[in-house]
Every structure is written in structure tokens, then in C-alpha cells.
Amino acid sequence: MFKCRDEVSTLPPYELGGAFAEEMKKYGVARVVKLNSNEGPYPPFPAAIEAMQKAAASSNRYPDPSSHAVRLALAEKYSVPAESIAIGPGSVMLIRALMEVAINPGDEVIIPWPSFPPYLLATHIMGGRIRKVPLVDHTHDLPAMLAAITDKTKVIVICNPNNPTSTIITKSALDDYFEKVPAHILTILDEAYIDYIQDKDCPDGLDYLQIGKPVAVLRTFSKIYGLAGLRVGYGFTSPELAETLRRVQEGFPVSHVAQAAALASLERGDLVAERARLNAEGLAYFAAEFDKLGLSYAKPFANFAFVDVRQDAREMFQKLMRQGVLVRPGATYDSPTYERVTVGTPEENEIFIGALKKALEM
């Protein structure tokens, strides 16, 4: 009988943020406020929609396999050589590709915890060993991560802002980390939510690439640009590693429709700034309401908050779902009383807070 590799057969489960359509029908919910997947609440920019519509007419042709035009546009925007940029179907697939090229069976990967579960999955698939380092005050403990290095350590993952806690590492802390981390270790710096940051103390991963540190800086069009359904992620790293990533990916990783939308989106920095402003207002609203309810939470910087509801988060999830509001229970992140809730539109945020108040009284 056919048998899968042990690494695949024993993969840990990862719970995605589904739509829960059947459950909603059961409860007679007419409107769903979907705050469970860290998607942007706003649609693609008008220019991106127009670009997608035009590109759709040539869907009978394969896309550019290297996303050359997108890489050139990113190179110009961020002053990084185009040969140092890799494009993938979402930054999560770039994480997978990085582990594929870096990890041999038995190699160790240091991961903060709780953080983004696909780091664990990508390591596990390659037969790597995972060393989790607990967060302190919901934030990366970089000294402890450095102390966890052994002669088998190959990769260290840093998520800034961190998912699910929405916290950031300060520039001084990350500067100190890069001064001490051995040069043979690759640091994956996942900055999927960096476009939302308005705090000047948050570092820019590109600074470390530009001074020659062994780092892969990952970002995405899925969040603030509103292109989550198209799957376009990008990474900045050394030219050699970027070329290797392009070789291990499938032949046509990003559709030409997605490439067209990404190109059009990069031209609208004004709309990015406006969405970042609206998001900051949403975070401030959440924080003020959590304070009124006496709920503790991690100080949020991304487009979501991590709040302690003081009861089983799965039960709270059910209470909120019956009111048409979806959040992410913290059990996925070994945080059983926490909910991760994405910032929505102002109206959606108010609906969530109203539903939360009712649920706390149930």
C-alpha cells in the first residue's frame, strides 16, 4: 500500500479562517461580519480592478513566470535591485519555498510562539526540527531566540508585526539581534502587515538587507491592497537566494491577472496611506472599547487585535457567530482565552463590539 513520507503523514493541523456558511444558515444570520482572516475590509483599488478586467481578456495565455514587470516596479519603489526580488502566490508560499531551499532533515528552525502556524508546517514538511521560543508580553523575546541557537540552527523566523498578537519589535531590539546572530543563519523577516504601521520605532527589514545581513524580507499585496483573493506575495533577499527561489517554484506561480492588479496597486500610495489611517482609527476604537469592558489585550499595530475574553475562546466564537460575527479563536495559537479580531469598516467594528458586549453577558 502506498505510504506518504513520515513528515507529511504527521503534519500538524492548521485551522484556516473559513466562511462558516452552513453554520450561519443554521442560525438564520442574514449578514456576516467577517473579521477572522486578517483580510483588508476594502476592495481592490479602482485602478487594480480596471487592470484585472483588461488582463482577463488574455487568460488563454500563460503569465510571465518571473513576474518581471512587478519586480521592476517593486525595485523602483523600494530601491532594491530587481534580481533581489522574488514573487510568489502569497508570501506564505515564499515561506514554503525558503524552507525547501534551506532545510535538510534534522536542521533546526527557531520560531517565536505564538506566531503564524505555516512556519511550523513549512519546517515540518522538510523534516526540520522546530524550536519554539515563547513570547514575552506578547512580543518576540529576541535574546531568548538567540540563546536557543545550536550548531543545527539553520533558520530563524521573525514576524513583525507578529500574527496573532499584532505587536511589533522595536528598531533598537532588531538592530541588536542582527549584530549578534551568526552570519550562516538565514533570518526570515515576515512583514506581511508592515503597510499598516504608523509607529516610527518599527524597523524596516530592508535596512538589514542593504547592509548585507542574511535576511529574506517578505511582504504581500493581500492585506492593505485588498488583493487577498489573487495571491501575490513578494520577498527581498540576496540575488543568489532570490534566483534559487524562482527556480524551485512552479512554472507560472502568479497569474497575469494578479500581476496586473499588483502593478496598478503600487501606483496608489495615497490610497495605501488612507487605509492605514482608517485602520489606526479602528485599532484605537477597539482599544478604547476593550478598556471599557475591562479586557486585557496586546497593544496592536497591525490590522487586528488580540484580546483576552476571560473565557473559553471557542465558546465565545460560537456566541459571536450566532450574532453574525466571525473572529479567530486563540486555541490555534495555544492561547485558549484569546480572540484575534481583524479591523473592519467602522460599521463592522461597531457591530463586533456590540456583539462582544452581548456575548460577555451570556
pLDDT in tens, 155-184: 999 999 999 999 999 999 999 999 999 999
* Domain of residue 71, residue span: 46-266
CATH of the domain at 335: 3.90.1150.10
Rounded CA separation 262/143 (Å)? 37
**Is the confidence at residue 301, as pLDDT, over 60?**
yes
Same domain as 53, residue 38: no
266 contacts: CB under 8 Å, gap ≥ 6: 73, 74, 77
Provide the pairing of β-strand 108-113 with 153-159.
parallel
**What pLDDT does 7 receive?**
74
Same domain as 208, residue 81: yes
Q: Confidence band (pLDDT; 50, 70, 90) for 13? A: low
Q: Are 96 and 250 contacting, i.e. CB atoms less than 8 angstroms apart?
A: no
Same domain as 326, residue 179: no
Same domain as 322, residue 274: yes
Residue bearing cell 478598556:
291
Same domain as 79, residue 207: yes
**What pLDDT does 249 receive?**
84
Name the domain boundary from 266, 288, 317.
266
Q: Confidence band (pLDDT; 50, 70, 90) for 217? A: very high
1 in any annotated domain: no
156 in any annotated domain: yes
Same domain as 76, residue 21: no
Helix axes 346-361, 269-293, angle to 10 degrees: 20
Grid coordinates of 127: 523534516
Render pLDDT for 220-263 as a digit per residue (tens, 0 to 9). Answer: 999 999 999 999 999 999 999 999 998 888 888 899 999 999 99
Task: Compute the average pLDDT of residues 327-332.
Answer: 92
Task: Compute the average pLDDT of residues 43-54.
Answer: 96
Same domain as 222, residue 145: yes
- The beta-strand segments (E) located in the chain are 33-34, 85-88, 108-113, 129-134, 153-159, 186-190, 215-220, 233-236, 304-308, 325-326, 328-329, 338-342
Rounded CA separation 44/94 (Å)? 22
Q: How many domains does the structure of the chain reveal?
A: 2
Name the domain boundary from 217, 244, 266.
266
Burial class of residue 88, CB neighbours in 10 A (0-12, 13-18, 19+): buried
Q: How are the residues of the chain apportioned to helix, strand and coil, as percentages rounded to the nearest 5?
A: 45, 15, 40
Render pLDDT for 113-160 as a digit per residue (tens, 0 to 9). Answer: 999 999 999 999 999 999 999 999 999 999 999 999 999 999 999 999
Output the pTM of the full model. Answer: 0.92
